[in-house]
Amino acid sequence: MSPADAAGGEPPAAGQGPAGSGPAGPGAGQSAGQGTGETGTSQWYRHFGTIDAPGHSACYAEWSVGIADDPDLLRRIDQWPHNKRQPLLMLAAARFLGAQISPYPDFRAFLDARWADVSRIVLTRATQTNEAGRCATLLPSLAQIAAASGRPLALLEVGASAGLNLFPDRYGYEYDAAPGVTRLGPAGAAPGSYPVLGCAVTGPVPLPTALPPVAWRAGIDLNPLDVRNPDDVAWLEALIWPEQDFRRERLRRAIAVARADPPLLVAGDLNDRLVALAAQAPSDATLVVFHSAVLAYLDAEARGRFRAAMARLAVDTGCHWLSNEGHTVILQADGSSVVPEMDDARLRGRFLLLHNGKPVAITGPHGQSLEWL
């Protein structure tokens, strides 16, 4: 999933992406070595361990560098399909099975003892990180859309996982625009009953004064997760990086919100399901289609189909489109760019938020920052 939160950290769905199809994966198309003598898989884990994880998970940093230097383990990982070799997927599978924070030799012993189970989880699960914190970076745009239309929102998320980002009106927010902090919360909800999403903001962010009303919420995913299913919830928790207890607590509170009013989640490929699901949105609400860290799991042809479908949907329904994507989620096997609108030297592992195709902000991959353009 991102230097801090994206590369190797966001999910390929089983055999595809969270809501699409096509081969992809960091290291895809890399030749062995590329001047380093390393295989693509080794480079992938070393990048995650030296660039992405440091400062966020010392445990994952050590484990990933250890794997990168472990030829026997790399040979085992390379027996999986390419898009199943993603660092976070493998590490989360081990955590799901009980791996604790430990030095690499202890982790390696755990893998030796449980390798068949790790492989089973990797091959049957996907890193469907459902980060509710991203609502903090989407909220200003959603509030602008609702205010301009004068109508409640109908939210449709592609790559929805368990649908936790479909509840921006049910969460609390703390926007830190030093020296002041803007706080928002759902009216009538008891403090502590909802997650509070912190976000550092810079630039002329149009912070709302109230949460926008939401009349309808739905999502598409290849394999939707059910917040009422204990195994699915355990998997969502396993995807949280080991030391990030604040994200784990935030996830649990977001799950409690979703359990009280589960959204409509449809299984399938986004290019097959989008138009029919959008047609179910109420006509007296403003439709917003949005996604985060999803397009990298589509190949160039599928991304083109999706963009064309969104253009037609905008003409037919007047819907809005919020795209929150980054270069480093998964590097493309064909060399194509997921975010052609901005170079990664400017993004530095963060995501680019576009509203109807126009760049409006640079966002932290887990919603931790928002830089308005």
pLDDT digits (tens, 9 = 90+) for 312-335: 999 999 999 999 998 654 444 455
Tell me which of 124, 153, 186 is where a domain ends: 124
pLDDT at 296: 79
Question: What is the average per-residue pLDDT within 150-170?
Answer: 97
Identify whether residues 186 and 61 lie together within a single domain. Answer: no
Of 311 and 342, which is predicted with more confidence?
311
Identify whether residues 76 and 171 lie together within a single domain. Answer: no
- Number of neighbours of residue 344 by Cβ within 10 angstroms: 16
Asked whether residue 11 is assigned to any structural domain, the reply reads: no
Identify whether residues 94 and 157 lie together within a single domain. Answer: no
Residue 36, pLDDT above cutoff 80: no
pLDDT at 129: 86
Identify whether residues 205 and 58 lie together within a single domain. Answer: no
Distance CA(276)–CA(260), nearest Å, equals 26
Asked whether residue 33 is assigned to any structural domain, the reply reads: no
Question: What's the token pair of residue 279?
Answer: 């047609």
Domain count within the chain:
2
Identify whether residues 358 and 328 lie together within a single domain. Answer: yes
Identify whether residues 194 and 320 lie together within a single domain. Answer: yes
Identify whether residues 170 and 243 lie together within a single domain. Answer: yes
Asked whether residue 15 is assigned to any structural domain, the reply reads: no
Nearest 5 degrees, angle CA 220-CA 224-CA 226?
135
Residue 202, pLDDT above cutoff 70: yes
Asked whether residue 26 is assigned to any structural domain, the reply reads: no
Residue 15, pLDDT above cutoff 60: no
pLDDT digits (tens, 9 = 90+) for 255-282: 999 999 999 999 999 999 999 999 999 9
Residue 19, pLDDT above cutoff 70: no
Distance CA(324)–CA(310), nearest Å, equals 15
Given pLDDT bands bounded at 50, 70 and 90, which one contains residue 128? confident
Identify whether residues 116 and 211 lie together within a single domain. Answer: no
Q: 91 lies in which domain range?
A: 40-85+87-124
DSSP state of 331: -
We report the CATH number of the domain holding residue 164 as: 3.40.50
Asked whether residue 23 is assigned to any structural domain, the reply reads: no
Question: 86: exposed, middle or buried (C-beta count within 10 Å: 0-12, 13-18, 19+)?
Answer: buried
Identify whether residues 108 and 173 lie together within a single domain. Answer: no
Distinct helix (H) and strand (E) counts, the chain: 11, 11
Nearest 5 degrees, angle CA 328-CA 117-CA 330?
10
3-state secondary structure of 352: strand
Distance CA(352)–CA(260), nearest Å, equals 32
pLDDT at 341: 73
Of 341 and 306, which is predicted with more confidence?
306
pLDDT at 334: 52
In terms of DSSP H, where are the helices of the chain? Answer: 40-47, 58-68, 71-77, 87-96, 104-124, 135-149, 230-238, 245-260, 270-278, 300-317, 344-347
Average pLDDT, the chain: 87
Asked whether residue 81 is assigned to any structural domain, the reply reads: yes
Terminal Cα distance for the chain, rounded: 23
Identify whether residues 101 and 157 lie together within a single domain. Answer: no
Identify whether residues 96 and 159 lie together within a single domain. Answer: no
Of 50 and 19, which is predicted with more confidence?
50
Distance CA(113)–CA(93), nearest Å, equals 14
Given pLDDT bands bounded at 50, 70 and 90, which one contains residue 2? very low
Tell me which of 124, 141, 175 is where a domain ends: 124
Asked whether residue 60 is assigned to any structural domain, the reply reads: yes
Asked whether residue 4 is assigned to any structural domain, the reply reads: no
Given pLDDT bands bounded at 50, 70 and 90, which one contains residue 37? low
Identify whether residues 305 and 201 lie together within a single domain. Answer: yes
3-state secondary structure of 274: helix
Residue 339, pLDDT above cutoff 80: no
Of 53-62, 76-85, 195-204, 341-350, the least confident: 341-350
Residue 11, pLDDT above cutoff 50: no
pLDDT at 194: 95
3-state secondary structure of 237: helix
Tell me which of 74, 105, 124 is where a domain ends: 124
Question: What's the token pair of residue 31?
Answer: 């030749």
pLDDT at 338: 62
